[in-house]
Structure 1
Amino acid sequence: MKSFLAIAETGSLEQASQKMRVSSTTVFRHIHALEKETGARLFDRVRGHYQLTEAGADMLQPARQIMNSFDAINHHISGRDISPSGLVRITAPTSFSYFLLPDCFARFRETYPDIQLELLASNQEFNMTQRYADIAIRIASHPPDHLVGREIRTISWAIYGTPDDAATDDLDFLLQQDFIGACGTLRSHPVYQWFEKSHRGEIHQQCDDLIAMAHLARAGNGFACLPTDLAVPGLKRLTLLNDIAPNRLWVLTHPDLRQVERIKLTMRWIANTLKNDPKLSTTERQTA
């Protein structure tokens, strides 16, 4: 049933297997067995994309109800766990996974050696109700209704360049320089919509990924508008974009897990670390 829901949500055998952390062969075998048991074809494969058949669509809601019932049982049982030990699965955006969490996890391990951390580095929002992850680090205006936690901090946007770039924080001057623009889905973000209206210089390169954009800027391909969690080594923050609404950072979990000791300890540690991380500081101009 988990394999069926994973494919229904992602439309891909490969992405479903990554979500479930099993092989594609295992997911395919599960679907084949389910179709044999129900006597109906559940998916059509169209141009490599899995689409629900009519029978599959009819099965979707009951399948979700069944899995939610199993998850409620698992959450109730795991909620009794008061030992600071065991596995904690954490999903986080790739920028945090690459640049901020490694040091955080290293110090955590020294303090809580019996808690094992599993990091799911992805910008995709994992389905927390199906226990793909226990804790979610998310950038969002508001957290999903089915999760609980707290807002840790805001993350500002700024203009970045190389240490050799013009030593000025004058925004009007900077906006006349060469920039790396956004493309793809990234272009629809409010900061890049503002940028395209305000920018009076030249855009010779574009990118649909923030981490790649940061590395392009570091290599001297132009200035870039980036959130402060993307301050990769070798970039210099030139000026904050104070008129751009900052990102809001949350640490969240499922309501039935918030009293589990290992979850509480891990959430508290991550929250305190990110809240006070100097890499996210906006008090002064910064060279990473």
Structure 2
Amino acid sequence: MDWNYVKSFLAIAETGSLDNASQKLRISTTTVFRHIHALEKETGSRLFDRVRGQYQLTDAGVEMMSPARQIMNSFDTIDAKVSGRDQSPSGLVRITAPTSFSYFLLPDYFARFHVEYPDIQLELMTSNQEFNMTQRYADIAIRVAQNPPEHLVGHEVRALSWGIYGTESDAATDDLSTLFARTFIGACGTLHSHPVFKWLETRCRETKQHQCDDLVAMAHLARAGNGLACLPTDLAIPGLKLLAPLSDIASNKLWVLTHPDLRHIERIKQSMRWISKSLRSEPRLSQAV
């Protein structure tokens, strides 16, 4: 039985509503409702009746109270035993990040981080897919998304703008109409459905010599002189020059996130704070023609 389900059950039993329970647990009402639905499915019993807008325990819910409190007391005991370990900035922190950040930014960050926090060991998992944070496959997620998953907490660090990039020899003009007459690297696979490449498709249908399904590879193709590329600022690798910003394309949002149960652990908190500050002030993520 997931202890988050039990926490939500007790919060509703104590407060009488989804809204009050969500405020107490600092999670969304949707998440609380999902927890209760899953717990009722798992136990095979309806645990609450809704009476005049309030959640009241059913007979099965009343019977559930005692074992639920025992479960929470057990977790409180475990928390007390390990709290000393969690209050010091030491131990392992697992970070998952997209390939662009893992290749071009995080190696420098890790080296500087180790000087300031020598007792924290960082583990990097490079992936553009969401890891299961609930099962502790990762402690911190660096993610590019318009909205983060609702089961994670954190903050938006900065916006990542799009632009047209090429080599230094491509930089003769920044006029868009002239640029669109040049050869572009097109997108294929799942990348083809991204709004920026649909936008590009309407402007230069006949000028794509090569296509690619990965932005990192596209950046390297552009640097090698295979054509211009539409890229976000995190893919502006050395050797590429911004030829024109794409102000009509919505910027990506960069987030640093963790699971709610991990955010107060000192090593997680300090690592998130340090990474967020580094990314927020990173000049390589700012556009400069």
> Could you say whether these structures have the same fold, taking a TM-score greater than 0.5 normalized by the shorter chain as the test?
yes
User: How many equivalent residue pairs?
Assistant: 216
Once the two structures are superposed, residues 34-65 of structure 1 have per-residue CA deviations (whole angstroms, 9 ceiling, x without a partner) of xxxxxxxxxxxxxxxxxxxxxxxxxxx96xxx
Q: Note the alpha carbon deviations across 1:121-152, whole angstroms, 9 max, x for none.
A: 11111011111000000011111111000000
Q: Does 1:161 align with 2:166?
A: yes
Match of 1:100 in 2: 105
Q: Does 1:246 align with 2:241?
A: no
SS across alignment from 1:180:
strand
User: How far apart are residue 200 of structure 1 and its match?
Assistant: 5.1
Does the C-alpha gap of structure 1 residues 236 and 201 become closer, same or farther in structure 2, counting only changes over 3 Å?
farther
**Quick check: 2:171–2:241 contact (8 Å CA) kept in 1?**
no
Unaligned stretches of 5+ in structure 1?
1-60, 63-68
Runs (4+) of structure 1 exceeding 4 A deviation are none
Q: Distance in 1 between matches of 2:83 and 2:262?
A: 6
Corresponding residue SS for 1:164: helix
Given that 1:179 and 1:201 are in contact with CA atoms closer than 8 Å, whether structure 2 keeps it comes out as no
How far 1:169 moved relative to its partner? 1.2
Identity of aligned residues (%): 67
2:189 maps to which of 184, 209, 220 = 184
TM-score (norm 2): 0.71
Q: Which residue of 2 aligns with 1:198?
A: 203
State which of 117, 122, 131 in structure 2 corresponds to 1:112. Answer: 117
Q: In 2, Cα distance between the equivalents of 1:200 and 1:181?
A: 9
Offset, 1:201: 4.8
**1:128: which partner in 2?**
133
Partners in 2 of 1:73 and 1:218 — Cα distance? 53
Question: Aligned in 2, Cα 1:85/1:176: closer, same or farther, shift over 3 Å?
Answer: same
Residue 89 (structure 1) aligns with = 94
Cα separation, 1, equivalents of 2:205 and 2:178: 10
Residues 72-87 of structure 1 mapped to structure 2, 5 A cutoff: 77=79, 81-87=86-92
Partner Cα distance (1:73, 1:134) in 2: 19
Q: What amino acid is the match of 1:242?
A: S
Kindly provide the amino acid, as one letter, of the partner of residue 99 in structure 2: T
Give distance in 1, aligned partners of 2:146 and 2:75.
Answer: 31
Uncovered stretches (5+) of structure 2, i.e. residues with no partner: 1-40, 43-70
Distance in 1 of aligned mates of 2:171 and 2:281: 29
- Describe how 1:21-40 pairs up with structure 2 within 5 A: none
**More off after superposition, 122-131 vs 242-251:** 122-131
> Secondary structure of 1:205's match?
strand
Distance 1:236 1:119, change over 3 A: same
Offset at residue 264 of structure 1 (A) = 0.6
Larger radius of gyration: 2
Structure 2 counterpart of 1:39? none
Once the two structures are TM-superposed, the CA of residue 167 in structure 1 deviates from its matched residue by 2.1
Q: Which residue of 2 aligns with 1:266?
A: 271
Q: Show the counterpart of 1:211.
A: 216
C-alpha root-mean-square deviation of aligned residues, in Å? 2.0
Q: Deviations over 1:199-219 (max 9, x none)?
A: 255111000000100000000
SS of residue paired to 2:268:
helix
1:113 aligned counterpart, secondary structure = coil
**Aligned-partner SS, 1:198:** coil
Work out which of the residue numbers 140, 147, 150 in structure 2 matches 1:145: 150
Amino acid at match of 2:168: P
Which residue identity is paired with 2:204? H
| Contact 1:79–1:257 (CA under 8 A) maintained in structure 2 | no
Matched to 1:130, the amino acid is: Q
- Cα 1:165–1:140 shift into 2, 3 Å: same
Taking the TM superposition and a 5 Å limit, the aligned residue runs for 1:41-52 are none
